[in-house]
Amino acid sequence: MSSPLHLHINAANYNWDSGFEVPKAILGNENCDFGTGLLMFYRADGYRLLEPKDVCFV
């Protein structure tokens, strides 16, 4: 995959229950743009790492 658009489409349609090999390959690709990285960060629930540990959401 050499197109940023194809990388973004694959990232958007990826089933996260299938593991992290494909996401790591997408993020490691030199054509992965900021929007794709941000999409993957959001879908992987990465923003929870930025929240204080004592915050509880109901």
User: Is the pTM for the entire model greater than 0.85?
Assistant: no
Report CA torsion sign: 44, 47, 52, 55.
negative
Q: What is the pLDDT of residue 57?
A: 62
Sequence ranges of the domains in the chain? 4-48
∠29-33-42 over CA atoms, to 5°? Answer: 100
Q: What is the pLDDT of residue 21?
A: 95
In which residue ranges of the chain is pLDDT below 70? 1, 55-58
Helix segments in the chain, DSSP class H = 4-12, 21-28, 34-43
